[in-house]
Structure 1
Amino acid sequence: MTEQLAEIILKATQAKSIINTSLIQELWSGYGQILRCELEEGLSPSVIVKHVQPPNQSHHPRGWNTNLSHERKLKSYQVEINWYNDLAHRCDDYCRVPDTIHLQDRQGEMLMIMEDLNAAGFPIRKSEVSIPEIKACLSWLAHFHAKFMGVKGDGLWPVGTYWHLDTRPDELEAMQNKKLKAAAREIDKTLTGAKYQTLVHGDAKLANFCFSEKGQKVAAVDFQYIGQGSGMKDVAYFLSSCLHEENLSVCETELLRFYFETLKKALVLYDQLVDFEEIQQEWSKLYDYAWTDFYRFLDGWSPGHWKMHDYSENIKNKVLKQLS
């Protein structure tokens, strides 16, 4: 914690002093830190500080430390600042996100000071979840997708998700599955050509959801890869993050039914004048394509990844058969 950073935090929060600072996590590839600062007086007892300081030489855990990777990461933090600055205030209790206190972007060094969701009633992080807890996250996603149906969002990714094909040429080149590689562009075209587009979180894994004490409500963080897309991108990726293949096979129908039932109610709640039946029909078909699109990324990025199991293999094969 530099003196300059401390001064910015104190001014933004109107606090007398920073009582304690604790590290929540290092940012991916050494690009900075996320801190919790406990404060004396001020607007709140604590805040979360996301401090982005790009390294001179990044160290990617899987060796993908290229100039393209560096530029993608920098843009992702700029996108996140744009999201918090322009659109995050539209979220409500059904798709809760942290309130924004201060944003700063100076020559690649970025600072986000935000509400501490622990203090706001979302103190639990989970690595394993029950079906009701999965449904709490799917409810968040359904309301988020309904809220931002048709919204493009200036300054966000034109196409959301961190694995989008156009941003991953190195991983495409490294793919081992030649049939899937040949179909990659057509799969992407099917997803991006969908009639109904919303804003997708873009990295909606379990680790990015904060739970209430009883697990009935959630809030979400980490909006570096938010952009346009079918809601199925978030749903498929989220389910891949919290269920193993045997659970996916058993629970897929129930969980997708719940998501769409919640989406239908949320579209009414937000007065979205769209045809739900048409959305459900289109997006239900895109679930397999969204899953296969992520599988395509894994095949180039991390061959043999644990998510490349029989369930995802079967979905990938089904999509390739449809395309052929």
Structure 2
Amino acid sequence: MNQHFQETILKATGAQSLNRTASIQSLWSGYGEIIRYSLEGSKMKSVVVKHVNLPEGGNHPRGWNTDLSHQRKLKSYKVETEWYKSFANSCDQNCKVPECYALETLGSEVLMVMEDLDELGFAKRLSASVNWKNINACLSWLSNFHATFLHIKPQGLWETGTYWHLNTRPEELEAMDDLPLKNAAAAIDRALTSSPFQTLVHGDAKLANFCFSEDGEKVAAVDFQYVGGGCGMKDLAYFIGSCMSENDCEKYEEQILNTYFEFLKAALNRKQNSTNFIALEHNWRNLYHTAWADFHRFLKGWHPGHWKINSYSERVSREVIKSIAH
């Protein structure tokens, strides 16, 4: 990391020196990395630094090395910077996100200096094995996030959040073999974007982007590159698909929706939001399968052999296509 960025970290944290202690992960397609630095002489023990180094092109694991893909990633880092600058402070402990201490751009590099969630007690990461306590913690986070930003305009963010939305994925749409779903794609997208209850969606709310407390009852979320406007069901469907088997997705669908909307109602009441909750719940419940079909459409063009393509997703998508046709 260049000297200027090191000085930025020291100034932002009040530290006298810093030491690189761990590379947490590389960014998608070789666009940089996320690093933990320990600090000396600061009230903080450590910070997490997202260091983006934008190349001319990327090495995409699925072969989508196009200018469109590159431009989408470039914008995603601008969006994340704007998120931390203008929106993140609205999140309270019910939808915890890391505090951002410094944001800086220098040439083709971007620096984000953030609170270390591990130090705050969110050190647990889950991959495959989740229980209801974990799932409910994430449902609570999502509902509070959606309540916080209900009817807020995504100024400077993605106009339509999520990394898979139709307007940014023409190549994947073109590659689709499933013609009924391909032909319904625009109508599915329209149904989601025309919901009168727009909020901000996280845009990549998979299990891997949630950091859990040791007891698994509280979570914080990271990675806001695809935050933007949308129907909250897009986050919910995507999250459930990231951590449940197809059988459980179907078996517990009603329980998941009931729990999410209980949390959402409580969050809106806490915020004294006067939105007609009955109308919102009716609208969003009806769009849950639509949001599921929307992500399924992306997967079938991007990676037709993906493990998330299953009989539940196929059946849900067929139902949505049928309802749109009528």
* Interval containing the TM-score (normalised by the shorter chain): over 0.9
Which residue of 1 is the match for residue 123 of structure 2?
A: 123
**Which structure 2 segments of 5+ residues have no match?**
none
How far apart are residue 153 of structure 1 and its match?
2.6
Partner of 2:185: 184
Mapped contact 2:24–2:34 kept (Cα < 8 A):
yes
- Confirm whether residue 76 of structure 1 aligns to residue 76 of structure 2: yes
Task: Tell me what 1:174 maps to.
Answer: 175
Residue 319 (structure 1) shift: 0.5
Once the 2 structures are TM-superposed, how far is the Cα of residue 98 of structure 1 from its aligned partner? 0.2
- How far, CA to CA, are the matches of 1:295 and 1:225 in structure 2? 18
What is the aligned partner in structure 1 of residue 269 from structure 2?
268
Which 10-residue stretch deviates more, 159-168 or 10-19? 10-19
**8 Å contact kept, 1:123–1:211:** yes
**2:206 is matched with which residue?**
205
1:250: Cα distance to partner? Answer: 1.4
In the alignment, which residue of structure 2 is the partner of 1:307? Answer: 308
The DSSP-based 3-state class of the residue aligned with 2:58 is coil
- Once residues 109 and 273 of structure 1 are traced to their aligned partners in structure 2, the CA distance between those partners, rounded to angstroms, is 43
Matches within 5 A, 1:51-70: 51-70=51-70
TM-score, L = length of structure 2: 0.97
1:315 aligns to what SS in structure 2?
Answer: helix
Q: Give, in whole Å, the separation in 1 of the partners of 2:91 and 2:97.
A: 7
Could you say which residue in structure 2 is the equivalent of 1:9?
Answer: 9
**Aligned residues of 2:53 and 2:109 also touching (Cα < 8 A):** yes
Paired with 1:183 and 1:284, the residues of 2 have a C-alpha distance of 20
2:227 is aligned with 1:226: yes
Distance in 2 separating the partners of 1:302 and 1:222 = 22
Could you say which residue in structure 2 is the equivalent of 1:236?
237
Structure 2 CA distance for aligned equivalents of residues 116 and 12 of structure 1 = 14
Contact 1:20 1:39 in 2 (8 A): no
One-letter amino acid of the structure 1 residue matched with residue 266 of structure 2: K
- The residue number in structure 2 matching 1:216 is 217
| Alignment of structure 1 residues 128-167 onto 2, 5 Å | 128-167=129-168
Measured against aligned partners, the alpha-carbon deviations of 1:280-300 in whole angstroms (never above 9, x if no partner) come to 000000000000000000011
Percent identity of paired positions between Structure 1 and Structure 2: 54
1:65 shift after superposition:
1.1
Query: Which letter maps to 1:12?
Result: A
**How far 1:108 moved relative to its partner?**
3.6
RMSD (Å), alpha carbons: 1.0
Question: Unaligned regions of 5+ residues in structure 1, if any?
Answer: none
Amino acid at match of 1:120: L
DSSP-derived class of the 2:229 partner: strand
**Once the 2 structures are TM-superposed, how far is the Cα of residue 105 of structure 1 from its aligned partner?**
2.2
Could you tell me how far 1:262 is from its partner in structure 2? 0.6
Matched letter for residue 186 of structure 1: A
- Please list the CA deviations of residues 27-67 of structure 1 after superposition, one character each: whole Å capped at 9, or x if unmatched: 00000010000011214110000011112331001001110
| Length-normalised TM-score, structure 1 | 0.98
Partners of 2:57 and 2:67 within 8 A in 1? no
Q: Secondary structure at the match of 1:241?
A: helix
User: Is the 1:74–1:108 contact (alpha carbons within 8 Å) kept by the matching residues of 2?
Assistant: no
Alpha-carbon displacement from aligned partner over 1:82-131 (angstroms, at most 9, x marks no partner): 00000100100100000010001234421100000000110000012101
Q: C-alpha distance in 1, partners of 2:95/2:237?
A: 18
- Tell me, yes or no, if the aligned pair for 2:20 and 2:35 is still in contact at 8 Å: no
Matches within 5 A, 1:24-63: 24-63=24-63
Measure the CA separation in 2 of the matches of 1:310 and 1:265.
34
Equivalences, count? 324
Once residues 284 and 50 of structure 2 are traced to their aligned partners in structure 1, the CA distance between those partners, rounded to angstroms, is 34
Match of 1:112 in 2: 112
Letter paired with 1:313: E
